[in-house]
Amino acid sequence: MSVVYYAATTLDGYIAEVDDTIDWLTGYQGRYDGDDAAPARGYEEFYAGVGALVAGSVTYEWVVDHIGAGDWPYAGKPCWVLSSRDLAVPDGEGVDVRVVRGAVAELFDDMVASAGDRRLWVVGGGGVASQFADAGLLDDVEVTVVPVVLAGGKPLFGRRLEGGPMQLERVIPRASGMVELRFSIPR
């Protein structure tokens, strides 16, 4: 079991526009014809290894607003939502949304237990990922870099991370023109 922050980011390090939109990602059309281009990694492949998810309230509300509560994309897996506010929880078969208050370190054991022998996916945003990193609870960062520049928006991480650099484990150029970077975080 490990904790992974898995996200797409722009070339200049943003995961969303200032208004939380991601049209830069959903509308992206590009390609790379190099001999080392790998086929697009399927989200399904990553998601199959996920046992539970954790997100901040802004990310959670974006998912509910844009995907629709009736089509909850994470059915069958616990989804922890860190929030100081009361939030509506979608109805539906297999929906397991747990809106919680508290520090990541205090909630961590329950989150990990809910993931079983699979990964805990830090969905976002950057502030939540930073909380996990600050507490020494983030194992891996998997980032797909999209060759788009926004020059502003919501950053990949909410603040500077202490403890030294991450260790680059793998670089995978994709036929889409995106580049997947996989890092581990030394402890």
Retrieve residue 50's tokens: 């996920």
- At 68 the pLDDT is 60
pLDDT score of 23 more than 80: yes
Determine the Cα angle at 180 with ends 179 and 182, to 5°.
Answer: 145
- Taking residues 28-49, what's their average pLDDT? 86
- For the residues 12-38, what does the mean pLDDT come to? 93
Tally of CA atoms within 13 A in the half-sphere of 107 that contains its CB: 21
* 71 Cβ contact partners less than 8 Å away, ≥ 6 residues apart: none
The domain segmentation of the chain, as residue ranges, is 3-184
pLDDT digits (tens, 9 = 90+) for 118-170: 999 999 899 999 999 999 999 999 999 999 999 999 999 999 988 889 999 99
**Residues 50-98 pLDDT 10s:** 999 999 999 999 898 887 656 889 999 999 999 999 999 988 888 999 9
Confidence grade of residue 29 (pLDDT, cut at 50, 70, 90): very high
Q: What is the DSSP string of 80-141?
A: EEE-SS------STT--EEEE-S-HHHHHHHHHHHHTTSEEEEEE-HHHHHHHHHTT---EE
Q: What is the pLDDT of residue 12?
A: 97
More confident residue, 102 or 40: 102
For residue 99, is pLDDT > 70? yes
Mean pLDDT value across residues 100-106: 96
Determine the residue type at 33.
D
Pair 5, 141: CB distance under 8 Å? yes
CATH code of the region 3-184: 3.40.430.10
pLDDT at 65: 86
Predicted model pTM: 0.93
Question: What is the Rg, in whole angstroms, of the alpha carbon atoms belonging to the chain?
Answer: 16
